[in-house]
Structure 1
Amino acid sequence: MDDQNNFGAQSTLSMPAESIPVESIPIESIPVESMPFESMFIKSIPIDLTSTPATNWDNQSQLILSFESMPIESIPVDLTCAPTTISDEGVKLQFDPKVIEKKYIEERDKRLRDDGIDQYVRLDQERQSDLYAGSPSPRDPIKKEVDFLIMGGGWGGLLIAVRLIQMGITNIKIVEKAGDFGGVWYWNRYPGAACDTESYIYMPLLEEMGYIPVEKYAKSPELRKHARAIGTKFGLYDKALFQTELLALDWDEESKRWAGTTNRNDNIRAKFVATASGPLHNAKVPRIPGLETFKGHSFHTNRWDYAYTGGDTLGNLDKISDKRIGIIGTGATSVQAIPHLAAGAKHLYVFQRTPSSVDVRNNQPTDPKWVDSLTPGWQKRRMENFNTIVTGGHADEDLVGDNWTDIIRKLSVLGGKNQSTASADNAAARQLADFQKMDEIRARIDNTVLDPATAEKLKPWYNQFCKRPCFHDTYLPAFNNPNVTLVDTDGQGVEKITEEGIVAGGKTYELDCIIYATGFEFVVNHTNKSSLTIRGREGLELSEKWKSGASTLHGLHSRGFPNLFIVSLMQSGLTPNLTHMLDEQAIHIAYIASYCVENGIEAVEATAEAENKWVQTVVELARLQQEFTKQCTPGYYNNEGKVSDVVLRNSWYGLGSPAFIELLRKWRKEGKLDGLAYETAH
């Protein structure tokens, strides 16, 4: 899996953290070099406020620079030289940038649909049942009062619980619909499932646990084992209700408590509540005509049916040697599962709408000598080093040294030495750098896939971070197998499903089994992600307040919903290493809760002014990326090409995760609960 943090990465340039104020930032003062790298598109110019006045902004709101308006000869690039090299004279390319740009636009346009995100439907509950724990064991309803109620037992819920315990808050209850801890890794057990972010920074609390992963990129069994180990070490199993769903949260103004009810008739009252259900909560499938008519077997990858395929997460699918398998989707999950399906199936048909960008993975066992060299604090330093580099900041050393950091390093080198200069040359050079990187990705396909026609269909035609990059070493070679057929739909997707199989391009493919590798709901209303209804002061429902988009302070607090912490990507920080951000949010939540306990504060919520300023900041930063996202091929990053005002409000904090983390740290250091209103005990 793509570490199941299917989120855009961050900027290729950085802003000193100490320069980020907590309050709203005027739009004309935002330096683009500190924005997430999704925003570094063909029409952006970075602004260095120390030398460039705001008048360099076109219309004072967006940076607009037509690629056609730049004389190509003004860019330090030699377009006539076949070899690709980096030198003091510039970048030598073997392609015409204007041709590439035209191709990107053509590929995007053919995939645009009027129905946008509505082309998908949530997978029905029957298909999302728990295959691993079986039916819930009977138990009596629980009636309990706790200090802190946590919804979710994935990394987010585990980290909140651990950080609360470390701050002295131990009366905790965790409600989790799965049969154990693990979150997305509990559910996703498809063959090949693994994290594509380095395990030494992705797996949380390694130093606290005294554990080192066995390899650079951990596979799903090790990730589930680690989640269970955290639960055991910190005594969380005694605090958890598994196979239980939180249905409603109602704020009791008189007692200043939340009343939580579950699908098993539990009644849990809590002073504080955190919702940490994760961004990949509900599987989705396309609205394909005839979806329910297929007479063969079918399942979604997040509920892999090993009873049908045989094998396990490591592969060895020994029950499908006589089966014709069709898999719909070629995103991060398919990239990992397809090599195993190719090895086991009689014939595998891969139905593709948009190819993924697939770079080298190069997984390696953990080096014992490296482990012996580690000193206290190593994981935090490594996490922050990675975060700095993937957001374009300066680091004397690349501690992680993987293809995430390599992508950004190459873009920075190719994009010009002076990244902070507001010039057409630098803007164009950075776009050329992206063109060059994607050209390398396509060249790798040519060098790996033997059939030229298949290789051509597997090539991605979009900017590097329009879709989440994938890293794998056996995905592309799988298409050299004689039993594997790529069915490229030329951006249109599958036409329909019949009793016999799948129709694509006017041709019917008869199948024994259809596997849906079609992802999860991503850009949806927060309360629509689960069956939970949240009612705050005066019975106001969170879904009603957020019907036009999220409204928070720091992505955690929403006025009218005291003592509620909403853990999500919306209006908060974002990094490819999701668990880093989850831990920073957990630390922040634990600080506020303990501060309230120590100071006799009964209720705390965002002020209207602080919340409005934060929303304004998020939206203004998101608008700067809007042009880029519109130019991208449709996907969950840009709401399938429909970049609405709601999507802008639901965006992440646009100055990058290091700035967001530092903002929270400074806020805590000041110790004033700035932007929060609170009520003390009488």
Structure 2
Amino acid sequence: MSTVAVRPTPASYAEPLPAEVRVAIVGSGFSGLAMAIALLREGERDLVVLERASDIGGTWRDNAYPGCACDVPSHLYSFSFAPNPNWSNTFSPQGEIWRYQLDVAARFGVDPHVRANAGVTKASWSDETQRWTVETERGTVTARILVSGTGPLCEPLIPDLPGLESFEGETFHSARWNHDYDLRGKRVAVVGTGASAIQFVPRIQPQVGHMTVFQRTPPWILRRPSRPITPVERFLYRRFPAAQRAMRGIIYGSRELLMLPYKYARPTGRILRGIAEAHLRMQVKDPVLREKLRPDFEVGCKRILISNDYLPALGKPNVEVVTHGVSEVRPRSIVAADGTEREVDAIIFGTGFHVTDQPVAEIVHGRGGKRLADAWNEGGMGSFMGTTVSGFPNLFLMVGPNTGQGHTSIIYTIESQVPYVLDALRTLDRERAGAFDLKPEVQEAFVREMGDKFRGTVWTAGGCKSWYLDSEGRNTTLWPSFTFNMRRRLARFDRSMYRLDPRVDAPAPASEPAATA
């Protein structure tokens, strides 16, 4: 189970949905919480946070697999306006991060605006009413502004393996860990070797009878510089908050330097590769296994992982690393691409998420009823600064296309987007406008800019195929520069980039009665 202490779910989560609000926020992870808190601090109370689960938290609620922890330093993986002086480790475990989210939601008054078990099934824009009609599992709510805070790491990706439905053992994804399944003595297959797998593999290896790790591509792994935060440090952070802010600033600056190997791979990538090679040699003494675990692409082409115990776990007697993908699943076994077959009792997928084909795009319908997924299928996930999309008025994406980070905290990105949203709402009020829509030429220019900036970087020229890239080889996931440049460009809502429509007086459509639970 999760390491978070159980707390009673607020009664307000089960209250009926409001018929109409000014702002509807979808999702209650860090993005949704940041947006809701910012609106409340601005004095806006006409809002609702729609959460599909029974509690808030998003990624850090769902990913409760053994060993789950953040790979960004704790002091940077929290809101700048709500530092946590009580982190137990320099890299926070999942349970503490979720507890932090629960505490922040309560402290800043978000809880009364949350409606749980209200998964959104469709959101449709109307030019006549200048509102979004948001259909949920608990009823319908209309909103002038729709904010998608679902994030890119919300829907687990399970590969379409031939015969998977015939498997008679246990199967689950790391993001939906089955804590009721006893792994002790079992023959376990792990499919995938990404950020989740390198955390749970060392935790379950001592329990299982035998583990087969199916690795298509080995990742580059660096040492995880984690340590417990001492009681004295926690006391100082509580007593002198400026000390923690200073530490956050130092960490932020040092993490920004990590952008250099990504953008300028040739001069700086060699240094990082040398460090990763040394870590591999130190942790894996068997030359045959070491060769299996050595990537053939540049450091940073795929996500760089950090771990002190994953590589040693792969060298244990009860672990086998298979360097071929899975070709077929049978009722009691897995067949590798080389034709070899291994009997297994359970399959655990550490295969990541739907990132370049985000499920939220399937349910959002903009002008003319056009789905966001269809718009993106025509030319990739286009947007302006990952925040607004042409043809989808009054819609904001939190952590949208080209906002991901390979080197620092995504919370910095979120806190960069929030002021842009607030300034947009102020602009609508000031000009008595009912809707804004990004001009197509602005979006096209931004998409071209992103393509130009990625050219020659390690992400596109590093010799790998990563989940950063879409089916056409475009990097629509990451931000290709320093994050302070992103913050500068999102500091102000530039109305010249948008078509603003005068506010209409048409009434909102009647909503269906909402269920109470």
- Greater radius of gyration (CA): 1
Residues 66-122 of structure 1 show CA distances to partners (whole Å, capped at 9, x for unaligned) of xxxxxxxxxxxxxxxxxxxxxxxxxxxxxxxxxxxxxxxxxxxxxxxxxxxxxxxxx
Task: Say which of 56, 63, 88 aligns to 1:181.
Answer: 56
Partner of 1:124: none
Task: Say which of 524, 535, 538 aligns to 2:365.
Answer: 535
Residues 1:676 and 2:491 are matched in the alignment: no
Residues 1:507 and 2:337 are matched in the alignment: no
Kept in 2: contact 1:290–1:496 (CA 8 A)? yes
Partner of 1:596: 428
Residues 212-267 of structure 1 show CA distances to partners (whole Å, capped at 9, x for unaligned) of 31210110111111111112112222211212211222223333222211123x12
User: What TM-score do you get using the length of structure 2 for normalisation?
Assistant: 0.86
Task: Say which of 377, 385, 395 aligns to 1:554.
Answer: 385
Task: Say which of 259, 271, 276 aligns to 2:149.
Answer: 276
| Equivalence map 1:191-590=2 (5 Å) | 191-205=66-80, 207-208=81-82, 211-264=85-138, 266-309=139-182, 320-371=183-234, 385-392=250-257, 431=266, 433-489=268-324, 493-504=325-336, 505-524=338-357, 526=358, 529-530=359-360, 533-547=363-377, 548-572=379-403, 574=405, 576-590=408-422
User: What TM-score do you get using the length of structure 1 for normalisation?
Assistant: 0.66
Q: Report how many residues are paired.
A: 491
Partner of 1:151: 26
Q: Which 10-residue stretch deviates more, 239-248 or 334-343?
A: 239-248
SS of 2:162's equivalent?
coil
Q: Using a 3 Å threshold, how does the CA distance of structure 1 residues 624 and 192 change in structure 2: closer, same or farther? A: same
Partner of 2:510: none
Given residue 476 of structure 1, which amino acid in structure 2 is its aligned partner?
L
Task: Say which of 643, 661, 664 aligns to 2:487.
Answer: 661
SS of 1:477's equivalent?
helix
Residues 266-312 of structure 1 show CA distances to partners (whole Å, capped at 9, x for unaligned) of 12111211011111122112232221222111211111111113xxx
Q: Using a 3 Å threshold, how does the CA distance of structure 1 residues 287 and 501 change in structure 2: closer, same or farther? A: same
Kept in 2: contact 1:251–1:257 (CA 8 A)? yes
| Equivalence map 1:115-130=2 (5 Å) | none
CA separation in 2, counterparts of 1:628 and 1:566?
Answer: 23
Q: Using a 3 Å threshold, how does the CA distance of structure 1 residues 289 and 552 change in structure 2: closer, same or farther? A: closer
Q: Using a 3 Å threshold, how does the CA distance of structure 1 residues 611 and 514 change in structure 2: closer, same or farther? A: closer
Residues 485-505 of structure 1 show CA distances to partners (whole Å, capped at 9, x for unaligned) of 22222xxx1222112211223
Q: Percent identity?
A: 26
Kept in 1: contact 2:66–2:200 (CA 8 A)? yes
CA separation in 1, counterparts of 2:210 and 2:145?
Answer: 53
Kept in 2: contact 1:186–1:224 (CA 8 A)? yes
Q: Using a 3 Å threshold, how does the CA distance of structure 1 residues 487 and 544 change in structure 2: closer, same or farther? A: closer
Partner of 2:4: none
Q: Using a 3 Å threshold, how does the CA distance of structure 1 residues 557 and 530 change in structure 2: closer, same or farther? A: closer
- 1:346 Cα deviation from its structure 2 partner: 1.6
Partner of 2:464: 633
Q: Which 10-residue stretch deviates more, 383-392 or 362-371?
A: 383-392
Q: Using a 3 Å threshold, how does the CA distance of structure 1 residues 440 and 534 change in structure 2: closer, same or farther? A: closer
CA separation in 1, counterparts of 2:448 and 2:253?
Answer: 25
- 1:594 Cα deviation from its structure 2 partner: 3.6
Kept in 1: contact 2:222–2:275 (CA 8 A)? no
CA separation in 1, counterparts of 2:244 and 2:390?
Answer: 35
Partner of 1:165: 40
CA separation in 2, counterparts of 1:530 and 1:616?
Answer: 24
CA separation in 2, counterparts of 1:452 and 1:159?
Answer: 48
Q: Using a 3 Å threshold, how does the CA distance of structure 1 residues 600 and 508 change in structure 2: closer, same or farther? A: same
CA separation in 2, counterparts of 1:146 and 1:285?
Answer: 36
